[in-house]
Amino acid sequence: SQKIEQNSEALNIQEGKTATLTCNYTNYSPAYLQWYRQDPGRGPVFLLLIRENEKEKRKERLKVTFDTTLKQSLFHITASQPADSATYLCALESGGSYIPTFGRGTSLIVHP
Amino acid sequence: DAGITQSPRHKVTETGTPVTLRCHQTENHRYMYWYRQDPGHGLRLIHYSYGVKDTDKGEVSDGYSVSRSKTEDFLLTLESATSSQTSVYFCAISIPGQMNTEAFFGQGTRLTVV
C-alpha cells in the first residue's frame, strides 16, 4: 500500500542553524510533492510545491529537494528562527488527481 | 484563508446522535475536501467533491456521508456518531494549477463524541 513517512520525533535545533526535514514514500509515483506548515489549533498552510522533473525549489529561506529515485524529499529551513517552530507536513499528489495525500508531519522546535 | 469557513468550530455530542459539519467557501472553487486529523495518523481524507453533486469517497469514509448541493457549501454528516469519530475535522479547497493542487484549509472543527 502507499505509504508516506515523516519522522515522528520532534526535531530540536538552535536558532540560526539549518533545519532539515525528511519525507520518504513507498508504492507511490507522485507527480507533485508539497510542503505545508501547521501551527497548533490551525489548519495547514501551503509553503512550496515541487514537480517530479524538478530537483530543487527555493523560496526565501526554504529549500525543497525531490529525488524520485530515492523516493525522498528534503525540506530545509536556513537561518532558522523560533517563529519557524511548527509541524511540517509533506503531501504527495499524482498528476491530475487533485487529491493531496499527507504524511503525519514532523514537529520542528527552534530554540533561541 | 481563501475564504473558507467551517462551522461549528467546536462541538460535543453524544454517541448515536447525527452531526453535520459545514464548510463554506466564497471563491467558487470546484474541488473541496474533508479530512480528519488524529494523533499518530496525520491528515486522512474522508470524502471529496469535484463539483455540485459530484462527490467521492476517500481513505476513511465509513460512517460519513457528504453533500454538495451548491458550489460554496460542502457538508459532512456523521449519521450516528461514535467515539472513534472524535477528531479534528478540516475542510479544504484546492486551486488547480497546471495539473497540480495547492490546498487551502479551514481552521478546523474539533468534534468530541461522548
Comparing alpha-carbon positions, the chain B residue that sits nearest to A98 is: B101
Pick the residue with more confidence: A2 or A23?
A23
pLDDT score at A72: 95
- Cα separation, A52 vs A60, in Å, equals 21
**CB-based contact B30:B93 (threshold 8 Å):** no
pLDDT score at A94: 80
* CB proximity B3 to A under 8 Å: no
pLDDT score at B40: 83
pLDDT tens sequence across B17-53: 999 999 999 988 889 999 999 988 889 999 999 999 9
Shortest CA gap A88–chain B (Å) = 11
pLDDT score at B98: 53
Given a cut of 60, whether residue B81 has pLDDT beyond it is: yes
pLDDT tens sequence across A70-100: 999 999 999 999 999 999 999 998 867 788 8
Given a cut of 70, whether residue B79 has pLDDT beyond it is: yes
* CB proximity A45 to B under 8 Å: yes
Given a cut of 80, whether residue B100 has pLDDT beyond it is: no
Measured CA distances, A66 to A30, A56, B58 (Å)? 10, 6, 26
The closest alpha carbon to A43, from B39, B105, B89, B1, belongs to B105
Confidence of residue A60 (pLDDT cuts 50, 70, 90): very high
The cell 515522528 sits on which residue?
A: A8
Beta bridge partners of A75: A21, A64
Contact: B108, A93; criterion CB under 8 Å: no
Which B residues in the span 40-99 are in contact with A, Cβ-Cβ below 8 Å? Answer: 40-45, 48, 50, 58, 90, 92, 94, 96, 99
pLDDT tens sequence across B6-15: 999 999 999 9
**CB-based contact A76:B15 (threshold 8 Å):** no
pLDDT score at B29: 87
